[in-house]
Amino acid sequence: MLEKIMAREGTLARLLVLYLLWNAAGVLGGSLIYLYFKEAGVTVLELVLSFLFWAIAPVLTIHLLDRTRGLNMRWIFIAGIAVQAIAYLLLALASPSALVLYLFSFLVGVNCFLFWVPFNILFFEQCKGQEASLSSLYFAINPFFGVFLPVVGGFIAQSIGFPFLFFIALVMYAMVIPIAFFAIGNRSLSFSLQNSISDLKGFRTLILVEGAYGGGIAASVTVISLFYFTTPADLGVFLSATTLVSLIASFIVSRISDAFRKRRKFITYSGSALSLATAVAALATTAMGWASVISLRNFTSAIFYPFTTAIVLDRQRNVQKTMVAREWLLNYGRVAGIALVVFSSILLSDIHYSLLLLGLVILAYPVLIVRKGRMISAD
């Protein structure tokens, strides 16, 4: 028994080291990408449309690999890191244009399956009995780097140039490959998408709603922030400052989550607060106002999201099926959420209105939780 516990902790530690390096590269290299393309003349609508390529790519990847037998999880994982590195190589070498941004977004989307599904399977298999607290740690690592690395990235981009920043991220991703080789054991990944989706009965609508909100908010907040913060240094400071509150919220939720395990109450309250904070963000008209409402949104989001993962894992025994189906459903939802942002940008002529729509979208989550009742763990 003791040997199993030690083996589990060793595996989890290796995964966390890999996850730390991966997130550091992503935050440093990825925080200012859309400012880079906006400065090059890519339009607001083209920036928003690029998010569709990010969401569609993993759906296509999952369908391509559906029912393929004997996939080696280690090599899928390493392929995902390589695809991410190639995406940043493209940014470092190619002149910025809408086409380059679309290709970059598609490559990053492919990586959503190749990297994230194997990682999530391995990580959350180690989390039995600590789903919410370890989910809080999982969601806190990115904000931790987000507190200071965007400022560093902004300084590098402004003083040396964006291509050099992207090259640094490329090198950091390349460094993850040998670590992944030793951290990920030889293990087969096979799945049937249809069976995996069936295994998530009762949670499918919830995951679609989560994906719709997440995809839409990624597109809208990223693009709207460029209206108020137009230099790498200013945008880096904004991202760091508004991420700090996410980190604080993550520490709060990690303290109380597994101690009380009141999943439905936490989701109902935090989901409702997230809905309100998102809708209020549509009213911001100044840089300071935008930073304030996004800080509030980030705080409620950091409390909300660990529980969306925990409630699924509470009820699902097969983590592999869960993660494959969850990734597929999340990205279908993301396409719908991004489409709302496109709708606001074109037909309503103001991307800010998308935040009102997305506030309504995420409000459906706590409503569904209440309706599903016993299916969601309340203990």
| Packing angle of the helix pair 319-346, 287-315 (nearest 10 deg) | 150
Q: Is 71 exposed, middle or buried (0-12, 13-18, 19+ CB in 10 A)?
A: middle
Domain at 353, CATH number: 1.20.1250.20
The answer for residues whose C-beta is within 8 angstroms of residue 89's C-beta and 6 or more apart is 170
Q: What confidence category does residue 161 fall into, taking pLDDT thresholds of 50, 70 and 90?
A: very high
- Cβ neighbours for 107, distance < 8 A, ≥ 6 positions apart: 57, 83, 84, 86, 87, 90
Q: Which residue has the higher pLDDT, 376 or 290?
A: 290
Q: Of residues 188 and 163, which shows the higher confidence score? A: 163
Distance CA 219, CA 153 (A): 20
Predicted local distance difference test score (pLDDT) of residue 257 = 55
CA distance 122 to 102: 30
- Determine what percent of the chain is predicted with pLDDT higher than 90: 55
Q: Which pLDDT band, with edges at 50, 70 and 90, does 213 fall under?
A: very high
Q: Is the pLDDT of residue 25 over 80?
A: yes
Q: How far is Cα 348 from Cα 80, in angstroms, rounded to an integer?
A: 37
Q: Is the pLDDT of residue 17 over 70?
A: yes
What are the tokens at 159? Answer: 């003083």
pLDDT of residue 188: 81
Q: How many domains is the chain partitioned into structurally?
A: 1
- Is residue 165's pLDDT more than 90? yes
Q: What do you get for the CA distance between the two ends of the chain, in Å?
A: 27
pLDDT score recorded for residue 134: 66
The one-letter amino acid at 319: V
Does the structure show a pLDDT above 50 at 189?
yes
Extended beta strands in 4-159, E state: 71-72
Residue 72: phi and psi, rounded to 5, are -85, 115
SS3 1: coil
Q: Kindly report the CA angle at 136 between 312 and 168, in degrees rounded to 5?
A: 115
**Cβ contacts of residue 182 below 8 Å, gap of 6+?**
14
Give tens-digit pLDDT for 256-305.
Answer: 655 555 667 778 888 999 999 999 999 999 999 999 999 999 989 888 88
Q: How far apart (Å, rounded) are the C-alpha atoms in residues 157 and 243?
A: 20
Cβ-contact 278, 304 below 8 angstroms: no
The single-letter DSSP state of residue 32 is T
**Tokens at residue 139, please?**
């969601």
Whether this model's pTM surpasses 0.85: yes
Residue 313 to residue 311: CA distance in whole angstroms: 6
Among residues 63, 50, 151, which one has the least CA distance to residue 106? 50
Counting residues of the chain whose pLDDT is more than 70, the rounded percentage is 88
Distance CA 244, CA 293 (A): 13
In a 10 Å sphere around its CB, with 0-12 CB exposed, 13-18 middle and 19+ buried, how is residue 72 labelled?
A: middle
Average pLDDT, the chain: 86
pLDDT at 7 exceeding the cut of 50: no
Give strand pairing partners of 71.
189
Task: Give the residue numbers spanning the domain of 108.
Answer: 2-375
**Cβ–Cβ < 8 Å for 176, 82:** no
User: By mean pLDDT, which of 47-51, 72-76, 220-224, 263-267 is the weakest?
Assistant: 263-267
Q: 162-183 vs 149-159: helix axis angle to the nearest 10? A: 140
